[in-house]
Amino acid sequence: MSLAIINGSPRGLKSNSELLMRNFIEGYCNIIPRIPEQLFLAKASDLAGIPDKIKTSQNIIVIFPLYTDCMPGIVMQFFEDAYESGILNSKNVGFIVQSGFPESKHSVFVERYLEKLCRRLNCNYLGTVIKAGVEGIRIQPPSMTKKLFAAFSLLGEEFAKTGEFDRTIKDQLMGRYEFTGATIGLLKIISKTGAFNMYWNKKLKENNAFKLRNSNPYSEFRN
């Protein structure tokens, strides 16, 4: 099978998307010992080669981080180009959308867009894997990321075997759709304690910016 991975993270090589795909590729190569190429939309030198790579691959996986409840601008630009050139037509195309907030609900709206895009471009839609709560994985200790990386590795392995995203792993990664009932009450209380802000406070302090955290430089006097 021929597979090309389009990495749509604006962070390029230093992205959570890359880290997840590294594990996917590892699993994939357990079955097909030929490393699939990963092309980065954020890397100017990769952009020119994308059309050729897509032409020679029957399977395409596009991974991107959720940006303001949708795809990042560079990914939309890629979709516009594909729409103009027809390059994705008749390909098997799957997506992986990963995001910061812990509920997968945030990503299901763009998923509807992706499914429709495939119909529009006449490509065979392989589905969208959604993984929430990903911000921070690059600095988390291995004990925290072990399960996630193992799941991505298995996702890659199964993909190499079947050319599809395995349903069970996909559901496992999708995790919690939203918080409800008593959990939401508890989360509201925790949220008031500021516990969810520890990551941001740490980073603000590291950058000597903690005191400035509430600045609002663009506001104007208004009556």
Partner 1 sequence: MKITILNGDNKSNGNFTGYISELSKILATENTIEVFDLNKMNLKFCTGCWSCWWKTPGECAMKDDAGIIFRSVINSDLLIFASPLTAGFTSSELKKITDRLIVLIHPYIEVRNDEFHHKKRYDKYPEIAVIVEKNSDTDDEDLEIISDIYKRLAINFHSSLKFFKTTDDDGVKEISLAITSTKTQKTQKV
Ligand X SMILES: Cc1cc2nc3c(=O)[nH]c(=O)nc-3n(C[C@H](O)[C@H](O)[C@H](O)COP(=O)(O)O)c2cc1C
Among partner 1, ligand X, none, residue 222 binds (CB under 5-8 Å by kind): partner 1
| CB nearer to partner 1: pick between 38 and 107 | 107
Distance from C-alpha of 42 to C-alpha of 90, rounded to nearest angstrom: 25
Size of the site for partner 1 (CB under 8 A): 58
Interface segment toward partner 1; rule CB under 8 A; list 27-35, 46-54, 156-164, 207-215 = 207-215
**Minimal distance in Å, beta carbon 68 to partner 1?**
5
- CA nearest 76: which of 39, 127, 66? 66
> Is the CB of 100 or the CB of 163 nearer to ligand X?
100
Q: Does residue 104 bind ligand X (CB under 6 A)?
A: no
Nearer to partner 1, 143 or 180 (CB): 180
The one among 15, 38, 92, 104 contacting ligand X by CB under 6 A: 15
| DSSP 8-state secondary structure symbol assigned to residue 212 | G
Nearer to ligand X, 87 or 128 (CB): 128
In the structure encoding, which two tokens stand for residue 28, read together?
Answer: 């994939």
3-state secondary structure of 37: strand
Counting contacts by CB under 6 A, is residue 21 touching ligand X? Answer: no
Among 61, 82, 169, 173, binds partner 1 (CB under 8 A): 82
Using CB under 6 A as the binding rule, whether residue 65 contacts ligand X is answered as: yes
Do 120 and 89 contact (CB within 8 A), yes or no?
Answer: no
First to last CA, the chain: 64
Helix orientation angle between 167-174 and 142-162, rounded to the nearest 10 degrees: 150
Is 98 strand, coil or helix?
A: strand
The token pair at 13 is 């090589």
Count, residues near ligand X per rule CB under 6 A: 17
State both tokens at 165: 């995203």
**212 part of the interface to partner 1, by CB under 8 A:** yes
- At 132 the three-state DSSP class reads coil
Write out the residues near ligand X by the rule CB under 6 A: 9, 11, 15-17, 65-69, 98-101, 106, 134-135
